[in-house]
Amino acid sequence: MSMITVHEAMSQALAEEMRRDARVLMFGEGVATKRKDLLAEFGASRVRNTPLAEGIIAGTAVGAAATGLRPVVDLLFAPFLTLAMDALVNSAGKLRYLSGGQFEFPLVAIAMTGSGWCVGAQHNHNLEAWFAHAPGLKVVMPSNAADFKGLLKSAIRDDNPVLFFVDLGLLHQTGEVPGSESLVPIGQAAVARPGRDVTLVSYAKTVPVCLQAAETLAAEGISAEVVDLRTVKPLDLSTVLASVGRTRRAVVVHEASLTCGVGAEVAALLAEHAFDSLMAPVRRLAGPDTPTPASYPLEQAFVPQAAAVAEAARTLVRPG
Amino acid sequence: MSLIASYETPEALLEAMLLIRAYELRVSAVSAERSTPGTCTSVGQEAAAVGVVSALGADDLILTNHRSAGHLLARGADPGRLMAEVMGRSDGYCKGKSGSLHISARELGVVLTSTIVGGELSLATGVALSQTMLGRPGIVACFFGDGAACEGIFHESLNLGAVWKLPILFVCENNEWQAFVHRRETMVGDRIAAWAAPYGIDSATVDGNDVEAVRAAATAAAAAVRRTGMPFLLETATYRQRGHFEPDDQSYVDAQELAAWKQRDPIARMQARLADSRGLTAGDFAGLEARVAARIDAALAFAQVSPYPQPAELLTDVYV
């Protein structure tokens, strides 16, 4: 175990997987410039800069994945994915199916998102639900250094296209990271804190928010369980159901805008599968249906806060 | 015996064009009876397809688009499996999941067909990158139209192909039509080949209705790609004699222009040349046409009795 940042955890995952498998290569906007360590170890053929042209970056990754390589592409900020969506959604997500299984698309598309850098809505837009709605794609969004490393390694080894979202607010946070061969499986949630009275379901930067809320609640005698989804799709329904089956109350928390967000899916799944266990309606706390502002206080206000999460949980556990 | 067609004689070029024509007219006739979905035909463009595909080697890979029957049949595709695919049957190349619009046939080296105009241009760079990095011998032929050339991705693909020195034969079939719009309304100038020079890519334009001229130009272009490792842009100047999509009354088409291009029909021109240069008679042509018609009869019969996919196929070839 060692204490490293999320950024360092991702660098370790990339280097280890490139060392393990000669078919893995990485390219994108500034990849060779910023990842000098990878360039030095693996050479200019496997670590490449590209034009600032997301359509061809993603398309090249998809074409390469179908024909024997395992590309990882860095598309920088999530809103830039709108220019890469034809390749990712129409080609990578659909052509395995439409070809009757003739081709697979083992690729990882990395994009940063979320508040923290005051960059405004054309650099900060949590698009994970868009891609979760597109068939054939997996969507990963970790909350801590160990999961960033373990999930990125799993994403690189997966034979499906994986969208790997990096929450900007977490990039420089540190965490304990185990040794090289500790993979975190895609599609497996984690119980970040056990509890009895209410389940806080979240992912990415709002997991620490939920953990903070759970601390507050504990001081009041309310035991909150925090479930970190880690993977948005495929979503680990059984872990969520097991938790809510015990606590019988749920609050879903994420930074992405409320309408048709991941919280809507989780709430619908709970209504379908856990209606009889629920003692109270499922609550959703999410960003508003607005673009994200640049101004620091407004940007912070966009994200659900621990006090609001604690209050939502409190009203579920102690109504009236 | 290889599944991939080879062409030893001029008569073989004619027979391939006759097969494509007969196939597309038969599929159009069947769809007019509303028993199969409509297709995008390439009637009038047979020489452009056969001329280029006949110039490729067995190791070369092809990316095509929604107007793909000519490329597939010229490469040696079984018309019965193609018809089965168009009709959504389980014996189709993609098990009926593609329909006519995105047929790929890995065994023929026809990879990653995209029906999103320009989609194949986004993927070709990645396929060529695999060929280069994995040390495979074949070049990549990417077929697209004048419509795709007006997409931004065309320019991204040529630029990256040139910057990364990728072995791509870009083949622009300029058929004068961009869906329901004549390209003179939407495009600067008449020739797309001219757009290659700013990217440092060599190009040529050839009479796309002269199969032997296309074959000669494509042979030279493919040789240039192999010799230099650089892309080449070959433009085949041809004409779409039928509508964008079957059925289509072509009420928007200038009758004089259509009649003029029908005077330059690639099949009639090749027949006249073979009568002249190799002494083929009306009886010889009738024999060829009868042989082709018999193949198409057998293909349709095969497709019509091919079973529809089982309902369980809905959930295969994709993770769910």
So what's the pLDDT on residue B25?
96
In sequence order, what are the residues at sequence separation of 6 or more whose Cβ sits closer than 8 angstroms to the Cβ of residue B36?
B27, B30, B86, B87
CB contact under 8 A, B112 and A63: yes
The answer to whether the CB atoms of A63 and B123 lie below 8 A apart is yes
Q: What are the tokens at B268?
A: 């009639």
CB neighbours of A230 closer than 8 A, spacing ≥ 6? A140, A141, A142, A143, A147, A151, A184, A188, A189, A190, A203, A236
Interface check for B238 against chain A (CB to CB < 8 A): the answer is no
Nearest-CA distance B106 → chain A (Å): 7
Intervals of chain B under pLDDT 50: none
Residue B1: what pLDDT?
Answer: 57
On the question of pLDDT at A79 being above 70, the answer is yes
- What is the residue-wise DSSP string for B175-204? -SEETTEEGGGT-SSS-SGGGSGGGT-EEE
- CATH of region B39-63+108-246+258-274: 3.40.50.970
Q: Which range among A4-13, A135-144, B26-35, B100-109 shows the weakest confidence by mean pLDDT? A: B26-35
Q: Give the residue from A24, A67, A75, A89 with the most B CB atoms within 10 Å of its CB, the best one to mutate.
A: A67
Chain B hits for A68, CB-CB cut-off 8 Å, are 130, 134
Chain A hits for B319, CB-CB cut-off 8 Å, are 136, 138, 160, 234
Contacts of B127 (CB under 8 A, 6+ apart): A63, A64, A66, A67, B61, B63, B111, B112, B140
Neighbouring residues of B8: CB distance < 8 A, sequence distance ≥ 6: none
Nearest to B126 among A62, A95, A138 (CB): A62
Q: Is B167 on the interface with A (CB under 8 A)?
A: no
Which of A16, A17, A54, A255 is labelled catalytic? A54
Vertex A82 angle, CA A77 and A84, to 5°: 90
A210: amino acid identity, one letter: C
* Nearest CB to A60; choose among B92, B129, B318: B129
Domain ranges in chain B?
Answer: 39-63+108-246+258-274
Separation CA A63–CA A229 (nearest Å): 30
- Check A99 against B98: CB less than 8 A apart: yes
Task: Please name the residues in contact with A121: beta carbons below 8 A apart, sequence gap of 6 or more.
Answer: A79, A291, A292, A293
Longest dimension (CA), chain B: 60
A61 in contact with chain B, both atoms CB, cutoff 8 A: yes
Is A123 catalytic? The answer is yes
Residues A175-188: what's their mean pLDDT? 91
Q: What is the DSSP string of B109-166?
A: TB-----STTHHHHHHHHHHHHHHHTT----EEEEEEHHHHTSHHHHHHHHHHHHTT-
Residue A204 region by backbone torsions, left for phi larger than 0, else alpha for psi between -120 and 50, else beta: left
- Tell me the domains of chain A and their CATH numbers: 2-177 (3.40.50.970), 190-317 (3.40.50.920)
Mean of per-residue pLDDT scores for chain B? 96
Mean of pLDDT values over A122-126: 95
Q: Give residue A180's pLDDT.
A: 72
Residue among A252, A271, A272, A255 at smallest CA distance from A263: A252
Report the relative pairing of strands B232-237 and B168-174 from DSSP bridges.
Answer: parallel
The closest alpha carbon to A141, from A256, A44, A292, A240, belongs to A256
Please judge whether B319 and A160 are an interchain contact, meaning their C-beta atoms are less than 8 angstroms apart.
yes
Tell me whether A21 touches chain B (CB under 8 Å): no
Question: What is the Rg, in whole angstroms, of the alpha carbon atoms belonging to chain A?
Answer: 19
Q: Which of A161, A268, A146 is nearest to A207 (CA)?
A: A146
Distances (CA, A) of B175 to A160, A164, B224, B235, B258: 36, 41, 24, 10, 12
Q: Which of B97, B134, B318 sits opposite A136 (nearest CB)?
A: B318
Confidence of residue A319 (pLDDT cuts 50, 70, 90): confident
Radius of gyration of chain B (CA): 19
Could you tell me which chain A residue has the CA closest to the CA of B113?
Answer: A95
The answer to whether residue B1 neighbours chain A at the CB level (below 8 Å) is no
Query: Taking CA B224 as the corner, what is the angle to CA B223 and CA B229, rounded to the nearest 5 degrees?
Result: 105
Chain B CB contacts of A135 under 8 Å are: 318
C-alpha atoms less than 13 angstroms from C-alpha of B291 in its C-beta half-sphere: 13
CB B124 within 8 A of CB B63: yes
Distances (CA, A) of B61 to B53, B130, B248: 10, 11, 32
Q: Is the pTM here over 0.90, yes or no?
A: yes
| Count of A-B CB contacts under 8 Å | 144
Contact between A165 and A139 (Cβ < 8 Å): yes
Residue A97: list chain B partners with CB under 8 A.
97, 317-318
Nearest to A67 among B111, B116, B156 (CB): B111
CA atoms within 13 A on the CB side of B230: 14
Query: What is the DSSP annotation of A41-92?
Result: HH-TTTEEE--S-HHHHHHHHHHHHHTT-EEEEEEEEGGGGGGGHIIIIIII
Provide the residue type at B84 as one letter: A
Query: How far apart are the C-alpha atoms of B297 and B278, rounded to whole Å?
Result: 29
Considering only CA atoms, which of B140, B212, B133 is closest in space to residue B170? B140
Give the H or E element holding residue A316.
helix A306-317
Chain A contact for B98, CB < 8 A? yes
> Rounded to a whole number, what is the distance in Å from the CA of B304 to chain A's nearest CA?
19
A63 Cβ under 8 Å from any chain B Cβ: yes
Contact B130 A99 (CB under 8 A): no
- Mean pLDDT across chain A, nearest whole number? 97
Residue B131 with chain A: CB contacts under 8 Å: 67
Among the listed residues A222, A212, A69, A230, the one whose alpha carbon sits nearest the alpha carbon of residue A143: A230
Contact A56 B102 (CB under 8 A): no
Across the interface, do B153 and A135 touch by the CB < 8 Å criterion? no
Signed CA dihedral, B228, B48, B125, B153: sign only: positive
Structure tokens given for B190: 């008449």
Nearest CA in chain B to A54: B156
| pLDDT tens digits, B157-170 | 999 999 999 999 99
Active site residue: A16, A29, A123, A128, which one?
Answer: A123
Contacts of B316 in chain A (CB under 8 A): 101
Beta carbons of A60 and B319 less than 8 Å apart: no
By residue count, chain B amounts to 320
Q: Both ends of chain B: CA-CA distance in Å?
A: 38
ipTM value for the complex: 0.96
Sequence letter at residue A96: R
Asked if the C-beta of B154 comes within 8 angstroms of chain A's C-beta atoms, the answer is: no
User: Is A54 labeled as catalytic in the residue annotation?
Assistant: yes
The answer to whether the CB of A263 falls within 8 A of the CB of A129 is no
For chain A, the first-to-last Cα distance in angstroms comes to 46
User: Does the CB of A135 have a partner CB in chain B at under 8 Å?
Assistant: yes
Query: Cβ of B279 under 8 Å from any chain A Cβ?
Result: no
Question: Alpha-carbon distance A121 to A111, whole Å?
Answer: 14
Q: What is the pLDDT of residues A235-281, one digit of tens each?
A: 999 999 999 999 999 999 999 999 999 999 999 999 999 999 999 99
Nearest to A56 among B111, B134, B160 (CB): B160
By C-alpha distance, the chain B residue nearest A53 is B156
Compute CA distances B151 → B42, B111, B147, B154, B187, whole Å.
Answer: 21, 21, 7, 6, 11
Is residue A320 pLDDT above 80, yes or no? no
**DSSP reduced 3-state for A317:** helix
Q: What is the pLDDT of residue B320?
A: 85
- Pairing relation of β-strands B61-63 and B140-145? parallel
> Two tokens at A88?
């990712």
Is B112 in CB contact (< 8 Å) with chain A? yes
| pLDDT score for A181 | 80
What's the rounded Cα separation, in Å, for the pair B214 and B236? 7
B126 and A103 within 8 Å at the Cβ level: the answer is no
The stretch A19-44 carries a mean pLDDT of 97
Which pair of structure tokens corresponds to residue B284? Answer: 């010889």
